[in-house]
Amino acid sequence: MKDFLKPHRVVLIVLALALVAWCALSLNWTWLANPKYQLLIVQGIWRTIWLVVVTMVIGMILAVPIGLAQAAGPWYVSAPARVFCTVIRGTPLLMQIWLLYYGLGSLFPSIPWIKQSDLWPYLRQAWPYAVVALSLSVAGYEGEVMRGAFKGVPHGQLEAAKAMGMSPFTLLRRIWLPQALQRVLPTLGGETVSQLKSTPLVSTITIVEIYAVTSRIRQDTFIIYEPLLLLAVVYMCLTGLIVLLFRWFEGRTPTRTA
Amino acid sequence: MNGLEAIAAASALDLLALSPPGWGATLLAGLGNSVIIALGAYGLGFAIGLCGAFGKLYGGPVLKDLLAVYTTIVRAVPELVLILILFYAFTGLLNQMLLSWGMERVQISPIITGIVVLGVVQGAYQTEVLRGGILAVPAGQIEAARAMGMPSVLLARRITLPLMTANALPGMANLWLNATKDTALLAVIGFSELTKATYQASATTKAFFVFYPAAMALYLLISLTSTVLIGRLEKWARRGQRDVRGL
C-alpha cells in the first residue's frame, strides 16, 4: 500500500477525484433518477452479461472440434475448419452480424418449410442471429487457439496413452483435451473481455443491451455525453469483474510445473 | 436449374458492375475509404504508441501513471463506445476552441475524424506491444550503447528500434489487422466505408448474398495480402538472428 501511495500519485488521485466530483455536480444526471431508465439500465447490463456468457460457452464448445480438426483431422476436415477460421478472423464482426441478420432474415421468410416450422417464432426475432454471430466469432478465434493447444500437448503423452491401449475417444477425453484446455485457460480471460467489447455491435440489429439502452436515453433526453460516460464506466466495471473472476479461477486450478 | 443459375450469376455480375446500375464503384470507393482510414489510424497510433512506450519505460512517475490510465481505459471500453465518445468530444472541443478564438464552426471531414478516433484507440494497444518489444531487447546492448556515450535519440535510432522490430512485429501485425477491421465500426456513426457501402447496396437491391460475400472477399484480400507482406517484413527483420528451430 505504501508503495502505491507515492506523493505524486496522491496528487493524481486527488485530481481524479476532483474530476469525478466535477462530473457528478456540473453535468446533467437527472435522467438517472427516472425509474423507467433505471429499470432499462439494469435490464441492459443483464442482457450484456447474458450475451457474453452464453456466446462464450457455445463458442468454446464449437472451438474444440474446430481446433481438433485443424490439428489432427484429414485434409477434408481440416481445410474447411481453416477456411472458417480465416473468414471469421479476416472480416469485421459487424459485417458478419449484418450478413446473418439481414441476409438470412430476408432469405428465411421465402422458404415455406422454415416458415411453417416450430422455430419460426424465434427466427423472426433478432437475438438468435446475435447469439449465432457472436458464438461463431468466438469459435473462429478460439478454434485457432485450440489448434495450437492441441498441437502443444507433448507427443509422449499421446503415445503413452496409445501404448496403454486407450481407444482414440478415451485418449481425447482423458489425456488430449484436458491438457489442451489447460493451455487455453490463460487466454480465456482476455478472450472474454474482447467478447464483452464486441457485444455493443448487436445493438445495430435491435438487441436492447446496455449500449442500446444508453443510445435510447440519449435520443429521448437529448443529453449527449452523460449516458456515454455512464456506459464507459459500466464497461470498465464489467471488464474489471471479468479480469478478477479469471484471476481467481486461475489461482484455483491446480498446475504442476516440473 | 442450369438456366436459373446462369441468370443468377449474370445478375450478380450486373449488380457488382462498376458503372451506375451496378454497385461495384460504391464498394470500391468504400474499400478505398477503409484503407485510407486504416493506414492513417495505424500511422497515428504508431506515433502515439512509440511515444507511449518510451514514456512508460523511461518517463517520470507522473507520465508513467497517466499513460497507464490511458492504456487501461482504452483497452477496457469497447471500441464502438470510444468512437462515439471521441467523435462527439473531438468535434465538440475543436468547435468550442474555434468559437472562443472568434472563428467559425467547422464541419470536420469524417475521414479525419475516423483517423483521429481510431488512431487514439490504436495508440493504446500499440503502446503495450511496443513496450513489450523494447523490454525484450537485451539490456546489455542498451548499456553498451550508453557506455559508448550515445545520446538517447541516437541510441533509440541505432540500437533499440532496430533490435525491437523483430520482437514487436507479430503484435504489430495483429494490430494492423484489427485496424482494418475496426474501420467497419465507423459504419455505425454513418461513415461510408466498405461495410456501410455494402449495407446500402444490399438494402437497396435486396441482394444480400451478393454484396456481403463480395465485401468479405475484399476484407479477406486486405488481410491475406497484409499477412504475406508482413511475413516478408518479419523475415527481413529477423535477418542475422539465429534460427531456433531444430535445436
> Cα–Cα distance between B41 and B112 in angstroms, integer?
9
Q: CB distance A8–B62 less than 8 Å? A: yes
B183 band by pLDDT with thresholds 50, 70 and 90: very high
A69-119 residue pLDDT tens: 998 889 999 999 999 999 999 999 999 999 999 988 888 888 888 777 887
Q: What is the pLDDT of residue B84?
A: 87
pLDDT over threshold 60, residue B247: no
Q: CB distance A232–B188 less than 8 Å? A: no
Q: CB distance A94–B187 less than 8 Å? A: yes
The answer to whether B90 contacts chain A (CB < 8 Å) is: no
pLDDT over threshold 90, residue B147: yes
% of chain A residues with pLDDT over 70: 97
pLDDT over threshold 80, residue B12: no
User: What CATH number was assigned to the domain covering residues B2-237?
Assistant: 1.10.3720.10
A86-90, B56-60, B84-88, B213-217: least confident range: B84-88
Q: Tell me whether residue A242 is in a domain.
A: yes
Q: How many CB pairs under 8 A join A and B?
A: 107
A4: helix, coil or strand?
Answer: coil
pLDDT over threshold 80, residue A42: yes
For residues A9-15, average pLDDT: 88
pLDDT over threshold 70, residue B9: no
Amino acid at B156: A
Nearest one of B216, B81, B190 to A98, comparing CA atoms: B216
Domain spans, chain B: 2-237
Burial group, residue B42, by CB count within 10 angstroms (0-12, 13-18, 19+): buried
Q: Tell me whether residue A258 is in a domain.
A: no
Block residue for cell numbers 490504436: B122
A189-193, B5-9, B57-61: least confident range: B5-9
Q: What is the pLDDT of residue B5?
A: 55
The answer to whether B218 contacts chain A (CB < 8 Å) is: no
Q: What is the pLDDT of residue A238?
A: 96
A99-103, A158-162, B3-7, B182-186: least confident range: B3-7
Q: Tell me whether residue A173 is in a domain.
A: yes
The answer to whether B89 contacts chain A (CB < 8 Å) is: yes
DSSP tag of A111: -
pLDDT over threshold 60, residue B10: no
The answer to whether B167 contacts chain A (CB < 8 Å) is: no
The answer to whether B216 contacts chain A (CB < 8 Å) is: yes
Nearest one of B180, B165, B210, B186 to A92, comparing CA atoms: B180
Q: Among B81, B195, B199, whose Cβ lies nearest the Cβ of A232?
A: B81
Q: Tell me whether residue A21 is in a domain.
A: no
pLDDT over threshold 90, residue A251: no
* Structural domain harbouring A94: 39-252
A54-58, A132-136, B175-179, B236-240: least confident range: B236-240
A143-190 residue pLDDT tens: 999 999 999 889 899 999 999 999 999 999 999 999 998 888 888 988
Q: What is the pLDDT of residue B7?
A: 53
A75: helix, coil or strand?
Answer: helix
Q: A61: domain CATH number? A: 1.10.3720.10
Q: What is the pLDDT of residue B19?
A: 66
Contacts of B215 in chain A (CB under 8 A): 95
> Cα–Cα distance between B128 and A46 in angstroms, integer?
31
Number of domains making up chain A: 1
Q: What is the pLDDT of residue B39?
A: 96
A24-28, B105-109, B155-159: least confident range: B105-109
Q: Which among A12, A93, A99, A196 is the top mutation candidate for probing chain B, defined by the most B β-carbons within 10 Å of its own β-carbon? A: A99
Burial group, residue A114, by CB count within 10 angstroms (0-12, 13-18, 19+): middle
The answer to whether B103 contacts chain A (CB < 8 Å) is: no
The answer to whether B78 contacts chain A (CB < 8 Å) is: yes
Contact (Cβ atoms closer than 8 angstroms) between residue A120 and residue A114: yes
Contact (Cβ atoms closer than 8 angstroms) between residue A210 and residue A52: no
A199-209 residue pLDDT tens: 999 999 989 99
Q: Tell me whether residue A4 is in a domain.
A: no
Q: What is the pLDDT of residue B1?
A: 45
Q: Report the chain B residue with the minimal C-alpha distance to residue A84.
A: B220
For residues A37-49, average pLDDT: 95
> Cα–Cα distance between B211 and B197 in angstroms, integer?
9
Q: CB distance B212–A86 less than 8 Å? A: no
- Mean of all residue pLDDT scores within chain A: 90
Residue A87: all three cell numbers together = 473468414
Kindly write down the DSSP assignment for every residue of chain B, as one continuous string: -HHHHHHHHHHHHHHT-SSTTSSHHHHHHHHHHHHHHHHHHHHHHHHHHHHHHHHHHHS-HHHHHHHHHHHHHHHHS-HHHHHHHHHHHHHHHHHHHHHHTT-------HHHHHHHHHHHHHHHHHHHHHHHHHHTS-HHHHHHHHHTT--HHHHIIIIIHHHHHHHHHHHHHHHHHHHHHHGGGGGTTT--SHHHHHHHHHHHH--HHHHHHHHHHHHHHHHHHHHHHHHHHHHHHTTTSPP-TT-
Contact (Cβ atoms closer than 8 angstroms) between residue B142 and residue B159: yes
Q: What is the pLDDT of residue B21?
A: 64
DSSP tag of A253: S
Contact (Cβ atoms closer than 8 angstroms) between residue B33 and residue B40: no
pLDDT over threshold 50, residue A130: yes
Q: What is the pLDDT of residue A255?
A: 66
Block residue for cell numbers 451478393: B210
